[in-house]
Structure 1
Amino acid sequence: MFRKTFVFSSLALIATTIAVSPIMAEQDPHLWLEEVDSDQALEWAEKQNKESLSFLESQPLFEPIQEEALAILTSDDRIAYPSLMGGEIYNFWRDNTHVRGIWRTTSRESYRSDDPDWDIILDVDALAEEEEENWVWAGSSCRYPDYDRCMVGLSRGGADAAVRREFDLEKRAFVEDGFVLPEAKSSVSWRDRDSVFVGTDFGEGSLTDSGYPRQVRLWERGTPVEEAELVFEGEASDVSVNGVRFWDSDTPYDMIIRSIGFFTRHYYLFEDGETHRIDIPEDASLAGVLNGQLLVELKSDWEKDDRQFAQGALLVADMAGVRAGEADFQLLYQPDMQEALSGVTTTENRVLVSVLDNVIGRLVSFRQTEDGWESEVLGAPDMGTLSVVTTDDKSDGFFYNYTGFLTPSTLYQADAASDEHVSVRSEPEQFDSSGLTVSQHEVESADGTRVPYFVIHPEEMDDEKGMPTLLNAYGGFEVPRTPFYSGVMGKAWLERGGVYVLANIRGGGEFGPRWHQAALKENRQHAFDDFIAVGRDLVDRGITTPEQLGIQGGSNGGLLVGAAFTQAPELFNAVVCQVPLLDMQRYHKLLAGASWMAEYGNPDVDEEWAYIREYSPYHNVHEGEDYPKVFFTTSTRDDRVHPAHARKMVARMKEQGHDVLYYENIEGGHGGAANLEQRAHLSGLIYTYLHYRLNSEKEAG
């Protein structure tokens, strides 16, 4: 059973001290806003907050939207999504009573009942009160196959950096003198009950330039972490290095993963104190191992032993050959041009492949026979988004979620061997969707590429007047945006007469690696062109007008909307720019930014800065331009995308005489909110702003 996912994430980075040269200080008068917790910077942020909150919170729609959002976010009708471990169901849950959340467990039989008998393992609210810390749950990693001990993550204020503590599942208590790591962006993986692979900040030279662990050490129980044995060390220029143990049923494999770039990595088997690199392309990803067969997903074409494998393919090879350096890879699945692999998981005997077919999900099951591999498309619901929630390592059972823009989430229990599907939980409708419909359109981008997008709108529309419309996209890091159900968005926006649009622009993963790579580095403008093209098509179709068109994006999506409103300010009347990247000359010097140069390029290289400079929002906002009144949001505790991006953009725009709104949550991490109350408050602010800007400003007060 494959028990570890080898997908590098930007969820970890050690906060770095910013060095400011005299030259840069002359070029950028707002560098002082990069000092996250300085008194001057926080006073500035509080001043902006006061101005924006006094305006937005005074609008008539703010209070009802916030209250509705909180009711939806804390509703007992939400699905308690399961995590299967050792035959039991585990779940982390937040509600009005447990704002920070509880970690709990129940049996499979009890979970299938209408009122499961939950056993609380850890109450984060009680722990935070007891320890007088602003703890936010940061996940857990439990030891396979016994699931007796877990490493629990606790974050202060929602930052990516977290404290890691060993927890005894049987005693429901932290282990005295157990494995404990202080706050850092660490990597910890169980090897056996008394040892773990660990990567953390061991001092000078132990971190990469991106701030991730550079070393993998083997830490034995009862010894100081500083004395853990060094087993592998990457280069300072790497993104990160970490060690893991994964399992194929009862067979363990130890592995070192060296991420030399955000999308490139070397995989090494670690056996008898030696490392042996697995012979696959640098941009390929290990997707799992099942019954002695290694699964590999390709991101580019590969010629291996006179055989040609195409980009996006899922390959399989016998593990014995892999270990001997003589892997014989075979093709398991090849997506066509309208398809993409969106996930690979395993049960006891099956490989489950989640496929996007023109951005609509389906599930395919593979099993190995004496004659090779056989596949079948599972009978899951169609015309929506399908995502595997959790799988079982002792059977072919699994849970998956089905949802759509107007279809609340339904959790299914299924069996890959029998293709049985049983609805276990369904969320109720959280907004009135009567009279609404979903349509899918395409538009030709600037270079002729056809770009699809979804529109959620009333069945009857006045194409002469248009309607208030919110356009959203992401367009980066091979992340696909698929149909989803949002009670908060539906209640706050759709039910109040708004149209919602989701664009599947290049840079994302909707059509596999090719769609992502089409907007990398010097081609980044393609993503912005696609987004702007969708906006113009909405106007051309009569769905909306520039006065009624708003855009929203966060993180890389914040960069997207930042580029869009600076390049086509006449097209939009509202911009929600959340936890954004905006200063693309210094993004690689701020927090996790160095790890993203494979996506955007290196601004320190003249020829790469030349194309980055063309779209960097911070460098393309000008005095005298007529921009919409942008609403920027960020978080002081975001230690992934630096809050200075939003801070400096606001400072520059105000200096140029532009009218903007700004809200900085003093905690909340990259998600912008540390708990459900903060999420509801932020939703109230955002949708109040959108109604104020797009409903002729009179309906929102």
Structure 2
Amino acid sequence: MTKPRFPYPPAPQSDVVDNYHGRAIPDPYRWLEDPDSPETQAWTAAQNTLTRHFIDELPARAVFAERLATLWNYPRYTAPITRHSRTFFQKNDGLQNQPALYWQEGDAPPQVLLDPNTLSDDGTVALIGQSVTADGRYLAYTLSQSGSDWQTIHVRNVDAGADTGDVIQWCKFANAAWLPDDSGFYYARYPTPDEMPDAPPSTHHRVYFHKMGTAQAADELVYARPDAPDLGFNPEVTDDGRYLILHVWDGTDPRNRLYYRDLQTGGDFVRLIDEMEAKYIFIANDGPLFYLETDDDAPHGRVVAINVENPARVNWQEIIPESDETIEYSRLVNEHFVLDRLRHASHHLYLFQKDGTAVGEIPLPTPGSIVELTSRRADTRFYYHFQSFLYPPTIFCYDFETGQATAVHQPTLHFDPTLYETTQVFYESKDGTAVPLFLTHKKGLKLDGANPTLLYGYGGFNINLPPLFVPTRLAWLERGGVFAQANLRGGAEYGEEWHQAGMLHNKQNVFDDFIAAAEWLIDQGYTSPQKLAIEGRSNGGLLVAACMVQRPDLFGAVHCGVPVIDMLRYHLFTAGRYWTSEYGNAIENPAHFEFLIAYSPLHNVKPGVAYPPLIITTADTDDRVVPMHAKKFAAALQAADPGINPLLLRVEMKAGHGLGKPTAKLIEEAADVYAFLWTMLLGNG
């Protein structure tokens, strides 16, 4: 064997062996699952030292860092939230680590209501969510530290510009559902370790009511399901204040239940939808008539009305029938339904009268994405945030009185998008399925097989991968690179059937789709294996890891970000238990074990194979996809390495899965990753 060129830190192999349904599966790097052990910490520090030394010697690193700082330096706004005469929005001036929250009264100049940048020296405290009372007097806001999914709710008096002292802890992905009179709000949280010391973390979600001015310990327990500890709840109060709605979910399964309680008459919750057979999203209500978005009997989605006083299915009214486009958002504004639908992975915006009569489509500037849509039912206008690969984040306002949409905030860039173009093609996957692929590059690109190309994908969890504006990718394009984004099975692009075609026993379809995209790019002359890099994060990290292991000959460089790697044990850690409906459970189900072991990247690394140059990125406080995945994968690959290509691990400190990541950390990581990928494809040129 060739002596390795890279002095990887030693990773001792233990003799741990697990029995899965009669098969012995070694797990030699089990010790890396403990992030707090001295051995793991020393090994991680040594990996970071090696990676830092390698990256810092790349001439491209300083070039990318400088250019990325310039490309990121433009003002970014969120779509405004209006409450009577008050408007609330977030703004990042450019290179601020976190956006600040502003408010304004009427036409008065905006003023800062909350600036998370003042809450930490390094920008690692992030504003994750906000909920404003109907009269605009109070703001409930959630903060996260170091990228953690754990959040704390605080309340601020808008007029005073100061917190009230109301604090809610032990929340994840929380929202505050205010009562119309501002007296308090409903929320959901997990038990404290002292309340249920024997319960697994992030189970036994419960709904509470918090009365303003009281301690959290005095909050009223509103709903709990001790018989079903994995269920979660999102509370919502209807605009008329009459009903408390509970969206009941189980992990990442898009299907849910829907319960409600009449706040006027009291009583128990009514289980309006009590079977997890489809998705049901509450839109609005006219008294007891509930309008819901659902994919029940409609994989692409439809809008129905259910009278909760006569809820039998035979009495449901179909308001907007299913089309061949998939519903992404639905709102009721100014007595019109506003529907955001996906057509071949791009967003399209439609208006319907309340009886379902089509009004028309609101033109969008280019194929792209609606990232936010904000409104209240009584408003005569709504705001939406639109962007695309070459179209910067822009806030539009649609006015029902004029029937026109106008740009409210559109940034000026340090980049000329007119020199580039985006096209969409459809290629054939292994089984003949047509898969969409976006291509962005300089105009007049030569198809000579020599273009450095970055292929990106995700393919899972019913998540659409639309055209998004990402400043880091502009630096790749400027240097003559091609950016390709494949809309793989497993996502939401074509409804629930498309999702199911890429989950559980069908997961290999996702990898086949991605490999077919790479082969298409090569066959069409866009690039060659030596000039093709692939990138994915989270479930997309699993994607690129699996494809790299299955086809190491096909790629010139790989970025594997915050990945899920150990598919036999992923569900034993933090949020992993919620993904079994998507991936399966190798311990409990023999059939699941068979398809998971077949593609699990950790278990398919082969000694002596020259895997392509690889940088794995993770974070020390990622409590969604724990860093043990990245660490065990790096250890296995480095042990199998014949000494040809670098196989590096980069572990970010005081960072999580990516939620609320400071701008400085985003730029630093992107500079490292893009310098690595570019250099591996083109050398130091």
Given the two structures, how large is their TM-score scaled by the length of structure 1? 0.87
- For residues 385-421 of structure 1, give each alpha carbon's deviation from its aligned partner in whole angstroms, at most 9, with x where no partner exists: 3444322443230112333322333322112454211
What residue identity is the alignment partner of 2:56?
E
Task: Tell me how far 1:639 sits from its aligned partner.
Answer: 1.0
Matched, 1:331 2:318: yes
Q: Is the 8 A contact 2:284 2:292 kept in 1?
A: no
Matched, 1:285 2:284: no
Which of the residues 94, 104, 107 maps onto 1:106?
104
Alignment-derived partner of residue 385 in structure 1: 369
Matched, 1:588 2:584: no
Local SS of the residue matching 2:494: coil
Local SS of the residue matching 1:614: helix
Find runs of 4+ consecutive structure 1 residues off by over 6 angstroms: none
Matched, 1:563 2:546: yes
Aligned counterparts of 2:502 and 2:185: Cα–Cα separation in 1: 39
Aligned counterparts of 2:568 and 2:456: Cα–Cα separation in 1: 25
Q: Is the 8 A contact 1:208 1:239 kept in 2?
A: no
- For residues 133-166 of structure 1, give each alpha carbon's deviation from its aligned partner in whole angstroms, at most 9, with x where no partner exists: 9751233433431232233222221211122222
Alignment-derived partner of residue 146 in structure 1: 135
What residue identity is the alignment partner of 1:147?
G
Alignment-derived partner of residue 172 in structure 2: 185
Q: Is the 8 A contact 2:251 2:577 kept in 1?
A: no
Indicate how the Cα distance of structure 1 residues 237 and 585 shifts in structure 2: closer, same or farther if over 3 A, else same. farther
Which of the residues 451, 455, 459 maps onto 1:467?
451
Q: Is the 8 A contact 1:348 1:393 kept in 2?
A: yes
Indicate how the Cα distance of structure 1 residues 85 and 628 shifts in structure 2: closer, same or farther if over 3 A, else same. farther
Local SS of the residue matching 2:136: coil
Task: Tell me how far 1:522 sits from its aligned partner.
Answer: 0.5
Q: Is the 8 A contact 1:528 1:564 kept in 2?
A: yes
Q: Which moved more, 1:322-331 or 1:644-653?
A: 322-331
For 1:233-632, list aligned pairs within 5 A: 233-235=224-226, 238-242=229-233, 244-248=235-239, 250-263=240-253, 264-271=255-262, 272-279=266-273, 282=276, 283-292=278-287, 293-301=289-297, 310-318=298-306, 321-326=307-312, 328-337=315-324, 339-368=325-354, 373-416=357-400, 418-490=402-474, 492-604=475-587, 605-632=589-616
Which of the residues 670, 673, 680 maps onto 1:683?
670
Q: Is the 8 A contact 1:412 1:425 kept in 2?
A: yes
Alignment-derived partner of residue 87 in structure 2: 89
Local SS of the residue matching 1:544: coil
Local SS of the residue matching 1:294: strand
Alignment-derived partner of residue 22 in structure 2: none
Local SS of the residue matching 1:403: strand
Alignment-derived partner of residue 306 in structure 1: none
What residue identity is the alignment partner of 1:63?
A
Alignment-derived partner of residue 41 in structure 2: 42
- For residues 203-240 of structure 1, give each alpha carbon's deviation from its aligned partner in whole angstroms, at most 9, with x where no partner exists: 45499757144222334445553453333222565533
What residue identity is the alignment partner of 2:233?
N
Alignment-derived partner of residue 148 in structure 2: 159
Q: Which runs of 5+ in 2 are unaligned?
A: 1-13, 20-24
Aligned counterparts of 1:596 and 1:625: Cα–Cα separation in 2: 31
Aligned length: 652
Q: Is the 8 A contact 2:125 2:146 kept in 1?
A: yes
Give me the CA root mean square deviation: 2.7
Indicate how the Cα distance of structure 1 residues 142 and 260 shifts in structure 2: closer, same or farther if over 3 A, else same. closer
- For residues 41-95 of structure 1, give each alpha carbon's deviation from its aligned partner in whole angstroms, at most 9, with x where no partner exists: 222222111111111122112112112222332434x445433344433223344
- For residues 568-617 of structure 1, give each alpha carbon's deviation from its aligned partner in whole angstroms, at most 9, with x where no partner exists: 11110111010110111111011101001111111211111111111111
Local SS of the residue matching 1:421: strand
Q: Is the 8 A contact 2:541 2:561 kept in 1?
A: yes
Q: Is the 8 A contact 1:580 1:645 kept in 2?
A: yes
Which of the residues 637, 642, 657 maps onto 1:653?
637
Given the two structures, how large is their TM-score scaled by the length of structure 2? 0.88
Task: Tell me how far 1:259 sits from its aligned partner.
Answer: 1.6
Indicate how the Cα distance of structure 1 residues 185 and 40 shifts in structure 2: closer, same or farther if over 3 A, else same. farther
Aligned counterparts of 1:58 and 1:87: Cα–Cα separation in 2: 55
Aligned counterparts of 2:678 and 2:659: Cα–Cα separation in 1: 21
Matched, 1:122 2:114: yes
Alignment-derived partner of residue 10 in structure 2: none
Task: Tell me how far 1:186 sits from its aligned partner.
Answer: 7.0
Indicate how the Cα distance of structure 1 residues 124 and 458 shifts in structure 2: closer, same or farther if over 3 A, else same. closer
Alignment-derived partner of residue 69 in structure 2: 70
Aligned counterparts of 2:380 and 2:168: Cα–Cα separation in 1: 36
For 1:197-208, list aligned pairs within 5 A: 197=186, 198-202=188-192, 203-205=194-196
Local SS of the residue matching 1:454: strand
Aligned counterparts of 2:423 and 2:173: Cα–Cα separation in 1: 44
Aligned counterparts of 1:446 and 1:240: Cα–Cα separation in 2: 37
Q: Is the 8 A contact 1:410 1:424 kept in 2?
A: yes
What residue identity is the alignment partner of 1:195?
G
Indicate how the Cα distance of structure 1 residues 625 and 244 shifts in structure 2: closer, same or farther if over 3 A, else same. same
Local SS of the residue matching 1:428: coil
Indicate how the Cα distance of structure 1 residues 563 and 334 shifts in structure 2: closer, same or farther if over 3 A, else same. farther
What residue identity is the alignment partner of 1:284?
K
Local SS of the residue matching 1:511: coil
Indicate how the Cα distance of structure 1 residues 378 and 436 shifts in structure 2: closer, same or farther if over 3 A, else same. closer
Indicate how the Cα distance of structure 1 residues 287 and 245 shifts in structure 2: closer, same or farther if over 3 A, else same. closer
What residue identity is the alignment partner of 1:104?
Y
Alignment-derived partner of residue 218 in structure 1: 209
Aligned counterparts of 1:182 and 1:414: Cα–Cα separation in 2: 37
Aligned counterparts of 1:326 and 1:660: Cα–Cα separation in 2: 59
Indicate how the Cα distance of structure 1 residues 429 and 74 shifts in structure 2: closer, same or farther if over 3 A, else same. closer
Aligned counterparts of 2:544 and 2:480: Cα–Cα separation in 1: 23
Q: Is the 8 A contact 2:567 2:600 kept in 1?
A: yes
Task: Tell me how far 1:275 sits from its aligned partner.
Answer: 1.2
Q: Is the 8 A contact 1:431 1:487 kept in 2?
A: no
Q: Is the 8 A contact 1:430 1:487 kept in 2?
A: no
Aligned counterparts of 2:401 and 2:549: Cα–Cα separation in 1: 53
Aligned counterparts of 1:680 and 1:97: Cα–Cα separation in 2: 10
Aligned counterparts of 2:176 and 2:198: Cα–Cα separation in 1: 18
Q: Is the 8 A contact 1:562 1:582 kept in 2?
A: yes
Q: Is the 8 A contact 1:463 1:543 kept in 2?
A: yes
Aligned counterparts of 1:297 and 1:220: Cα–Cα separation in 2: 31
Q: Is the 8 A contact 1:468 1:694 kept in 2?
A: yes
Aligned counterparts of 1:210 and 1:315: Cα–Cα separation in 2: 36
What residue identity is the alignment partner of 2:304?
V
Q: Which moved more, 1:626-635 or 1:462-471?
A: 462-471
Local SS of the residue matching 1:103: strand
Q: Is the 8 A contact 1:354 1:387 kept in 2?
A: no
Q: Which moved more, 1:579-588 or 1:360-369?
A: 360-369
Q: Which moved more, 1:477-486 or 1:427-436?
A: 427-436
Aligned counterparts of 2:130 and 2:275: Cα–Cα separation in 1: 29
Aligned counterparts of 1:673 and 1:354: Cα–Cα separation in 2: 26
